[in-house]
Structure 1
Amino acid sequence: MSQPQPPLIGISTYQEEARWGVWTLPAALVPAGYPRLVRRSGGLAALLPPGDPETAAATVARLDGLVIAGGADIAPDRYGAEPHPRTGPPAPDRDAWELALIEAALAARVPLLGICRGLQLLNVALGGTLVQHLDGHSGPPGVFGRHDIEPVPGTLLAAALPEPVAVPTYHHQAVDRLGRGLVASAHAADGTIEAVELPDAPAFTLAVQWHPEAGEDTRVMDALVAAAREASPAGV
């Protein structure tokens, strides 16, 4: 009997000017830690270059699971706010593409994991708002900080991470008002929401504010890959 195929996990990427060899060109990028983490958790990683939001449903239909990666600040007008002086420049095309991916995953019952910006975008997609600047949740520029998070007992997150853990972190924005149906499933010592989930969703829907791809703990990604394997026809 042939072995079931590992679930295919899509990872959103973003367009940046990049340099390699003799070339300096626009490129679709994501840190290598993301596909590495998917592989360590037993999945196959597929990088999703930024695209037309109208193609998001067809893209998600090919996947067994979806990761929305970290990155730039979300345009404040997406949640009805004026820009804070410390909010970064908007990336409207990326916002539109990843919001469409999230909506497609929720509609198609595809397991979803948001990471950092991915958590914030899930919250905004469901009508929530963001704190546009806070201190103490990153290291110096380009360096991950580290702090403890406390899981909320009885949540999806706590099933994967039952105990308080120190996590790699690099963000200056966070959840303010929770989006429709979302619940907080972890907090930092200062009360910042560090994970959210959608208990009434028909498929695994979890997002974390920290960066598991920058650490050694695979358990959050393990949970996504397990959910994707269970949901995939190839995994039965």
Structure 2
Amino acid sequence: MMDNRGHVACAVVGITANRHLHDGVHRDWLRRRYIEALTKYASVECVILPTLDGDLPCDSTARTFREVMRRLDGLVLTGDESDLDPDILRKNERVWARAEDDIVPCKTDRPRDRLSWVALTVAGELQMPVLGICRGLQEMNVHRNGTLHEDLSLSHKGITHRENTNLPRDEQYLPVHSVKVAPGGLLSSVIESEELRVNSLHKQGVAEVGAGIRVEAVADDGVVEALSYRNSPTFQLALQWHPEWHASSDKTSQRIFRAFGSACDAYRTQRSAR
């Protein structure tokens, strides 16, 4: 069967950037692996969404982003080395204004936290397809008022969820533990498997699941490894692992990206018809 999507305008997705501060210079950055996997296997075009400093009130920023995201067909929340600050994403008593410690390398990235709150808020309003990866899963949970373990090594001793930094980068992203996939869920319908082997490169993890969230997969030590938003009219799925890194050789990762791409195509068709 020929894929004719190359002959028509394809879906466009927004991908969250991260903030990098080096030598006093602020940079928004994103690993190419996300774009490569999305372009090849989801068959979408990608635009990078910039991080936010918090100079404007969150509601004003959301209004601006709403106009941008009306032109998009999907949202991807990427991973990052920094820890999530739940106070940015909580719906109640949100802390938004810029602070001196907003960016601490490998620890804090509040400009990214602000971006993710706005992007998830608008994506929810627009009922847009969403794919969260690693940090993105944690953001999707906290955005629904879920909570996080700040350091899984202190609360879960069964599995080491952090990468082995002594290994070459490609090897850090190889599968290291199993996850059990919940039957009857979104992830199960996509991958058609009850168990997966996944990579694991995260310090934080889900503690309490947020409102309206379905757990899609768990590790043997109970850590939530995948979740979705219940009652969503479209594909809104998050994975604690990184499907993008070895997507070229992993059929399961390819299936996930294709399912997301198909949802973005369907959303684009509906959006064009409005």
TM class by shorter-chain length? 0.7 to 0.9
CA apart distance, 1:36: 0.5
Residue type of the alignment partner of 1:27: R
Q: Which moved more, 1:194-203 or 1:103-112?
A: 194-203
Quote the residue 2:97 is aligned against.
Answer: none
CA contact (8 A) 2:19 2:111 kept: no
The verdict on how the C-alpha distance between 1:160 and 1:90 changes in structure 2, with shifts beyond 3 A counting, is: same
Quote the residue 1:134 is aligned against.
Answer: 152
Q: Which moved more, 1:129-138 or 1:105-114?
A: 129-138
CA RMSD of aligned residues (A): 2.4
Q: Which moved more, 1:91-100 or 1:173-182?
A: 91-100
CA contact (8 A) 1:116 1:211 kept: yes
CA apart distance, 1:165: 1.9
Give the whole-Å Cα distance in 2 for the aligned partners of 1:222 and 1:138: 28
| Structure 1 unpaired stretches of 5+ | 81-87
1:145-224 to 2 correspondences below 5 Å: 146-163=176-193, 164-216=195-247, 217-224=253-260
Compare the two structures and name the one with the higher strand fraction. Answer: 1
Give the whole-Å Cα distance in 2 for the aligned partners of 1:154 and 1:235: 31
Residue type of the alignment partner of 2:173: F
Quote the residue 1:113 is aligned against.
Answer: 131
Give the whole-Å Cα distance in 2 for the aligned partners of 1:128 and 1:15: 24
The verdict on how the C-alpha distance between 1:231 and 1:115 changes in structure 2, with shifts beyond 3 A counting, is: same
CA apart distance, 1:213: 1.1
Residue type of the alignment partner of 1:35: I
| 1:8 has 2:47 as partner | no
Give the whole-Å Cα distance in 1 for the aligned partners of 2:254 and 2:87: 34
Residues matched between the structures, number? 225
Residue type of the alignment partner of 1:14: N
Larger Rg: 2
CA contact (8 A) 2:18 2:111 kept: no
Q: Deviations over 1:4-62 (max 9, x none)?
A: 3221111100121369xxxx943211111100010112111111121473322122211
Residue type of the alignment partner of 1:229: D
CA contact (8 A) 1:185 1:194 kept: yes
CA contact (8 A) 2:51 2:114 kept: no
Give the whole-Å Cα distance in 1 for the aligned partners of 2:87 and 2:14: 27
CA contact (8 A) 1:115 1:210 kept: yes
CA contact (8 A) 2:163 2:202 kept: no
**TM-score (norm: length of structure 1):** 0.86
Quote the residue 2:87 is aligned against.
Answer: 77
CA contact (8 A) 2:73 2:264 kept: yes
Residue type of the alignment partner of 1:173: Q
1:24-35 to 2 correspondences below 5 Å: 25-35=25-35
Residue type of the alignment partner of 2:117: L
Residue type of the alignment partner of 1:188: A
Compare the two structures and name the one with the higher helix fraction. Answer: 2
Q: Which moved more, 1:196-205 or 1:71-80?
A: 71-80
| 1:144 has 2:170 as partner | no
Quote the residue 2:69 is aligned against.
Answer: 60
Task: Give % identity.
Answer: 28
Residue type of the alignment partner of 1:75: D
CA apart distance, 1:201: 1.8
| Structure 2 unpaired stretches of 5+ | 94-105, 154-159, 248-252
Quote the residue 1:83 is aligned against.
Answer: none
